[in-house]
Amino acid sequence: MRELSKMLLFILVYLACYFVPWESAVIRRSGLEAFMMLQEYAREHVLTCLIPAFFIAGAISVFVSQASVLKYFGATANKFLSYSVASVSGTVLAVCSCTVLPLFAGIFTRGAGIGPATAFLYSGPAINVLAIVLTARILGWELGLARAIGAVVFAVVTGLLMALVFRHDDLNRTAGQIYVPDEDDRGRSLLQDGLYMLTMVLVLVFAAFARPSADDHGIWSVLFGAKWYITAMLLVLLGVMLKAWFTRDELTNWVGSTWVFMKQILPLLAGGVLVAGFLLGRPGHEALIPERYIQTLVGGNSLWANLFAAVSGAVMYFATLTEVPILQGLIGAGMGKGPALSLLLAGPALSLPNMLVIAGIMGAKKTAVFVVIIVALSTLAGMVYGTLMG
């Protein structure tokens, strides 16, 4: 399958080289916009935002025990804890909608209730640390915060609604215990792990600290002026922690896990940026698709605009993080703030391939209800956000 994908990619590149009419002024402008947008990402977002976020994701995957998370989905687990853990488990266990599917299949077939299981299914790809950080960095902290809060709330509400609708099915299922591996004893306290993670998060915050507006002469200007000094001190502190608290094998695994994330995500992100730039351009720079089309479909904050954005996001497949440059282009072309959030909340958690796999696990009826709930919640959240931010 992998070799077939490579062959298809080669064929597509060849066809593009052969047939794309580069003599057209619009096509040439769109091509230039694609690479200008890629350059913007390389200069402004990779070193100060993505690289620290990759190291955080690598640390989570290596040092946070999956067993400690999955054990809360068993049939005898406390319901409050089940939903609480499920709603934030995406920060620990999954990076995209592909990764979460086998985990969901495992916990659902082994006895997890439909509520916690579907809360986990939504949370996995929706509460992606990398995606939320990139959203806040590029599209604004307001949209990043709304995405994070909306994803957590949606996970719980979706799980509760699924449990309510299919409560009789849940009672008839055989209650089983989920097998999870034993938790590793890593020789560090929870406080030490927490301080290590917090230090990396602070490195990300200060390294990516944006320049405040010209009218702002308060604390934000002071922090911006000192950002690199603070970042340097945090890096020294991080180095001391790594030397004192971690073994060489653990550090090797951490770097290896980070590199795996980078290999998987950076090529997809670069491709997504190029496609978004070619089709939509940077904000204020029109490319292949005229801005009036975007404004007609998803401009403003109407019910139709939010519903269209939510359904489009649910049907389309977004490789990890590619929804951010696509939305950057759409917003620049006139997309409303509400529809932007609708797409962000529905898109990463759903896609047509994703729906087909879910249907094979829990049935077409449950899958249809799951999709309708997410689309409806995304539409409603978009309308509320668009009204508040309008």
Give pLDDT tens digits for 25-44: 888 888 888 888 888 778 87
What 3-state DSSP class applies to 210? coil
Helix (H) or strand (E) holding 33: helix 25-41
User: Helix crossing, 129-139 with 141-165: angle to 10°?
Assistant: 140
Distance CA 210, CA 286 (A): 25
Give how far the C-alpha of residue 299 lies from the chain's centroid of Cα atoms, to the nearest Å: 23
Which DSSP symbol is given to 333?
T
Q: How many CB atoms lie within 10 A of CB 285?
A: 17
Taking the whole predicted model, whether its pTM rises above 0.85 is answered as no
pLDDT-derived band of residue 174, with 50, 70 and 90 as boundaries?
Answer: very low
Distance CA 261, CA 76 (A): 34
Cβ partners under 8 Å of residue 179, min gap 6 = 110
Distance CA 201, CA 49 (A): 11
| Token couple for 260 | 């795996």
Segment 159-177 shows an average pLDDT of: 71
Return the pLDDT at 320: 62
What is 364-380 written as a DSSP string? HHHHHHHHHHHHHHHHH
Return the pLDDT at 91: 62
Segment 113-138 shows an average pLDDT of: 80
261-294, pLDDT tens digit by residue? 788 777 877 877 787 778 777 766 777 877 777 7
Distance CA 343, CA 335 (A): 11
Q: Which residue has the higher pLDDT, 102 or 258?
A: 258
pLDDT-derived band of residue 157, with 50, 70 and 90 as boundaries?
Answer: very high
What is 91-102 written as a DSSP string? HHH-SSHHHHHH
Return the pLDDT at 52: 82
Q: Which residue has the higher pLDDT, 129 or 68?
A: 129
Q: Which residue has the higher pLDDT, 121 or 3?
A: 121
Distance CA 302, CA 373 (A): 19
User: In terms of Cα–Cα distance, which of 132, 112, 129, 119 is closest to 160?
Assistant: 119
pLDDT-derived band of residue 356, with 50, 70 and 90 as boundaries?
Answer: confident
Cβ partners under 8 Å of residue 62, min gap 6 = 250, 253, 254, 257
**Is pLDDT above 90 for 372?**
yes
**Is pLDDT above 80 for 93?**
no
360-370, pLDDT tens digit by residue? 878 889 989 99
**Is pLDDT above 60 for 1?**
no
Return the pLDDT at 383: 92
Q: Side chain identity at 225, as an amino acid letter?
A: G
pLDDT-derived band of residue 195, with 50, 70 and 90 as boundaries?
Answer: confident
182: left (phi over 0), alpha (psi -120 to 50) or beta: beta
What 3-state DSSP class applies to 23? coil
Q: For all residues of the chain together, what is the average pLDDT?
A: 79
The dihedral through the CA atoms of 99, 365, 340, 383 has a sign that is: negative
